[in-house]
Amino acid sequence: MVLVGRVRGRLARSSGRWVSFLLAAIVVTGCTSSAAEGGPSSPATTSSEPPKPVLLALSVSDDEEDVEPGQPVTVRAEYGAITKASLIGKHGTHVKDDLRSDGTFWTTTEPLGYGKTYTLTVEAKGEDGKTVTEESTFTTATPDRTVAVSINVWDDETVGVGMPLIFTFTGPVPDRDAAEDAITITADPETEGDFRWFGDSQVIWRPKEYWEPGTEVTIDAEIYGKDFGEGTFGAEDKTVSFTVGDKLVAVADGKSHKLTVSINDKKVKTMPISMGKPSTPTPKGIYTVMSEHNWYTMDSGTYGVPADSPGGYRLDVEYAVRLSNSGIFYHSAPWSLGDQGRTNVSHGCINLSTENAAWLMNKSNRGDLFEVRNSGGPELDPTDGWSVWQLSWEEWRSQ
């Protein structure tokens, strides 16, 4: 605007000088002139556009059906402001709402019910000073079925840097993109990550790299009322907040028969171990701590080998930490003290002394990393437990 003003000022002064010169010429010559004959005319005036009527954009139309109850109902105003708006249920229920201070945007702030009829009424005033009223009556969807979701992280939990975020639905989800869109993961500091589906009812989100210690994370699984396709809708929202603790990594080596524990990349303890014997070797790879137990019953029958059969077992251990769904634990094993640090004799688990198992379990959190090397076993299956770090970032996103 400043530049435009200056340009206009220069033009006005130039016109004034030109007019003075012309008048002098008229006096000298005694001739007359008019605008129609090519003389100068008066400066043009700029006309402004007339005030406009308000335009309203409603997110729902009149007589619309199958509206998603989990999506907010909104109204936007252009060339004016919303002065009053409400959403009322068929039986008089007033839905909570919020109107932006400048009157340009209105929204509901709570979800709607399934299979309900609502009337939206909006009053707005335009730039032209005229008030308009619009009304829309619509019906929300009635689901054929609903699915709930569970999350593997607890509220206020401190987890390890390898923790994957696992969302398990109670039934198949036809529209995977819609389910992912309903889940918001907020991390401070910001953390890059992505989803990967394991079957039709479970999706896992993991960071590109290990979480940074101290990261604060909030999960908002706002699935209620969201359309997941083929008549399937979300049943209930879930919110969880957690903190990432120290970076604890335990590395078990089948050749040296030792377990080395590092915390925040500093080695803090080395202890003797015994892993799976040649007939039952421990799968090699990067495990993630899943759960911790005191006085846990180790039963080969849960993995298809009866306890009373050759190679079977059933015994109680004081400290046991699950590393896979297939039955790999690290646990206290006082019966194998003579073999720990020397040879591998277990059925696949990592045997520790009672004191060392207690120490490690006390230091560890769910989501910590446990790597097995030189075990002579097969590669750990990425779908066995929380073994998501068995896949590279490119493999993770290739689905």
Which residue, 370, 161, 340, 367, is CA-closest to 252? Answer: 370
CA 127 to chain centre: 41
Between the alpha carbon of residue 217 and those of residues 12, 157, 172, the distances in Å are 63, 10, 27
CA distance 279 to 290: 25
Quick check: 136 and 75 in contact, CB under 8 A? no
Characterize 300-338 residue by residue with b for buried, 16 or more Cβ atoms within 10 angstroms of its Cβ, and e for exposed: beeeebeeeeeeeeeeebbbbbbbbeebbbbbbbeebee
Q: What angle do CA 51, 56, 59 make, to 5 degrees?
A: 165
Kindly compute the dihedral angle of the four CA atoms of residues 93, 95, 101, 105, in this order, to the nearest 10 degrees: -120
Residue whose token pair is 């002098």: 24
SS3 281: coil
CA distance 151 to 168: 7
284, containing H or E segment: none
CA distance 139 to 243: 41
Residues involved in catalysis: 331, 349
First to last CA, the chain: 54
Neighbours of 227 (CB within 10 A): 21
Amino acid type, 94: H
Neighbours of 90 (CB within 10 A): 11
CA distance 273 to 257: 5
Amino acid type, 123: E
CA distance 224 to 118: 18
